Amino acid sequence: MDFNFTPDQQEIRETILKRCAAFDDDYWLERDRAGTFPEDFYRAMAEEGWLGIAMPEKYGGAGLGITEASIMMQAIAESGAGLSGASSVHINIFGLQPMILFGTEAQCERHIPRIVSGEDKACFGVTEPNAGLNTTRITTRARKVDGGYLVSGEKIWISTAQVANKILLLARTTPLEDVTSKTGGLSLFYTDLDRSKIDVRLIHKMGRHAVDSNMLFIEDLFIPDEDLIGKEGEGFRIILHGLNPERALLAAEAIGLGRAAIRRASDYARERIVFDRPIGQNQAIQHPLAKCWAQLEAANLMTMKAASLFDAGLDCGIEANTAKYLAGEFAFEACHTAMLTLGGMGYAQEYHVERYLREVLIPRTAPVSPHMILNFLAEKVLDQPRSY
């Protein structure tokens, strides 16, 4: 059992950290203050081929796995880019996995190279205001018409919709009352984000201002038949294949952000002199930081286990959810501890840890809450009765 990265994996990590050094903390602070998408960072990653790290080689990707993608996304967050940097490229890394697995060859040839090159930006339209995590209850309706579907409904917490030109959209093609299974009747589409039919409204939020979150109001959006992914009515089953890799990637990003916070806090603790001694000499400062480091490393082992299981084609639902839970909780503690280490300066934007703390609430909360993960683990691992 080898817990070390391969030479190629280590090279990915070192190369990404070196590339991200060109986009320093002040760059990300300015993007956060202005609320502007980090287009030049996104373009740099696209031009060097990183957006296709987990895409098949025949479509222009690198043909690597979610393990390598997790290493890359962790390094982006760890560089100080945090969730702003990671989220700007997140969907390119795994978002079109449903198309790779269930789409036609023509769909893959038409769309995946454009995602890999960065020519297209996509967003993921699943969550709805009145459904939350109960995806089977979504009400956005796709009604069959000649040559395609006519879609109307609402979506919420849709990242990058302000800058995207494509959308991976889950909609109901069969009314809930007419399906034999509650997971049936949902269909997945990959289509143009037509702003004449989709009203994109920005949600002003606590953190990660550089990468937008939105509500979508969709009215009579025409989607041609060729934009249906897989079979009609099987959209829920299709999107399930993307949940575990997303959890692994998000866990890796959270760990990277936690590491960035601990690094900055440790540097400050060595340099800050109070009562004629560095504050890092005090165990009240040392112990919380050391505890956070240990917790992040433990979470990282579970994250890499989940990713490697996925790449081996093995079931990783328990590991991926555990990784996301541990990473979210421990990264939050790391960022909070970093802020406490800096004291009053931790509250100042110029020291960056307040930005880390605001951003780390995302992987702690989304795309599934820690409470729902514990429900899942209690049922699947401890054989407890389903609670929801």
Render pLDDT for 25-35 as a digit per residue (tens, 0 to 9).
Answer: 999 999 999 99
Closest CA to 73 of 58, 94, 99: 94
d(CA 84, CA 201): 19
Return the C-alpha torsion angle 228, 229, 231, 237, nearest 10: -130
Render pLDDT for 296-338 as a digit per residue (tens, 0 to 9).
Answer: 999 999 999 999 999 999 999 999 999 999 999 999 999 999 9
Rounded to two decimals, what is the model's pTM?
0.96
User: Which pLDDT belongs to residue 241?
Assistant: 87
Render pLDDT for 247-284 as a digit per residue (tens, 0 to 9).
Answer: 999 999 999 999 999 999 999 999 999 999 999 999 99
Q: What angle do CA 300, 371, 314 make, to 5 degrees?
A: 50
d(CA 155, CA 214): 8
Beta bridge pairs of residue 143: 150
Is residue 133 over pLDDT 90?
no
Q: What is the arithmetic mean of pLDDT over 203-232? A: 98
User: Which pLDDT belongs to residue 93?
Assistant: 86
Q: What is the arithmetic mean of pLDDT over 366-388? A: 96
Render pLDDT for 35-67 as a digit per residue (tens, 0 to 9).
Answer: 999 999 999 999 999 999 999 999 999 999 999
CB 44 within 8 A of CB 19: yes
The structural domains of the chain, ordered by start, are 7-116 (1.10.540.10), 122-234 (2.40.110.10), 240-380 (1.20.140.10)
Render pLDDT for 85-105 as a digit per residue (tens, 0 to 9).
Answer: 999 999 888 888 899 999 999
Closest CA to 48 of 56, 38, 37, 40: 40
